[in-house]
Amino acid sequence: MIELAICRSDLVNEATIDRLHAALPAHRKVKSDAYYRQIDRRTSIVSFALLQLLWSEKFTEPLPEIVLGVFGKPAFARRATTYFNISHDQTVCACVLAPIAVGVDIQSRIPFDDDLFDRIASPPELELRDQLAALDDLSPLWTRKEAVVKRTGRGLTTPFQAIEALSAPGVLTMTCDDPDVRLSLSAAGRTTQDLLCDVRIRFLQPHRDADAWSSVPGDEFVRPFTGFENALAC
C-alpha cells in the first residue's frame, strides 16, 4: 500500500506548530528555521511531521537517518525497501510513504502562459496547448513532470522539455476542489490503474494538545484528473 497524507498548515494553530517543531530531528529544524517567510517555515514543519506520522504507523523503530542522493533527493539511510517524498505549496502539504520509489508534487493553479508552456512541454505535449489554455491552468502538466523528476531523483538536471510526462507510466494526477490544488504521484513499476487501487489518500490534521492526528473531511474532494484522457487516447 502507498500511503499519501495531505495537511493544510494554515489550519494548524501556533501551539501545535511549536510542538511539531520540537519533535523534528535537528537537521529538519535547521532547514525549517532557515526559511524567511513564516508560511514556508510552517509548511516545512508540517510536511516533515506527516512523514514522521506515516513512519510511526508502519514501523516500531525510530525514523531512520535521512541522507541526500547524488542529485539531492532525500532518502532513508540503510533502508532500501522504504521510500518517501514530500511536497508543499503555500499552505498545503503532502507526504507519500511507499515500498517503491515515489515522487509527489502538489500545486495550486498555475495560470496559463504561452512562454512557460513552451519551456516545459515536450514535443508531443505541445498538442495540449489549447486544452490547458482553456483551463487557464498549467498545474496538471507541471505536477506530472515534477513527480517524475522527484521519483527518479535527478532533480533539475533533467530539463522539463525532456520529460514526456503525459505518456510516462505509473503517473496519477488528481484534482481537489477544497483546497483547490492538483497533485501528481509517480511510482516505479506501477501503472496508473495500479495507483488508483494502491494509494490510500488521507486528509489529516494534528490534535491541539496531544501527539496524535485525526482524519478530516477532504479525501472525498479528491478525484483523478481526467483532462488528459483525449490526448492519452491519441
Kindly report, residue by residue over 162-202, the tens digit of the pLDDT. 888 888 889 999 998 888 899 999 999 898 888 988 999 99
Among 75, 6, 49, 28, smallest CA distance to 215 is for 6
Q: Answer yes or no: is pLDDT of 1 > 70.
A: yes
State CA 15 to chain mean position distance: 25
Q: Answer yes or no: is pLDDT of 210 > 60.
A: yes
Give pLDDT, residue 168: 84
Give pLDDT, residue 232: 45
Residue 30's Cβ-side half-sphere holds a number of Cα atoms within 13 Å equal to: 3
* Beta-carbon count within 10 A of 8 CB: 19
Cell numbers found for residue 155: 532533480
The full set of domain ranges for the chain reads 2-233
CATH number of 2-233: 3.90.470.20
Query: Which residue type sits at 26?
Result: A
pLDDT in tens, 34-69: 999 999 999 999 999 999 999 999 999 999 999 887
Give pLDDT, residue 233: 42
CA angle 216, 222, 228 (to 5 degrees): 165
Average pLDDT on 126-138 reads 93
Q: Is 185 exposed, middle or buried (0-12, 13-18, 19+ CB in 10 A)?
A: buried
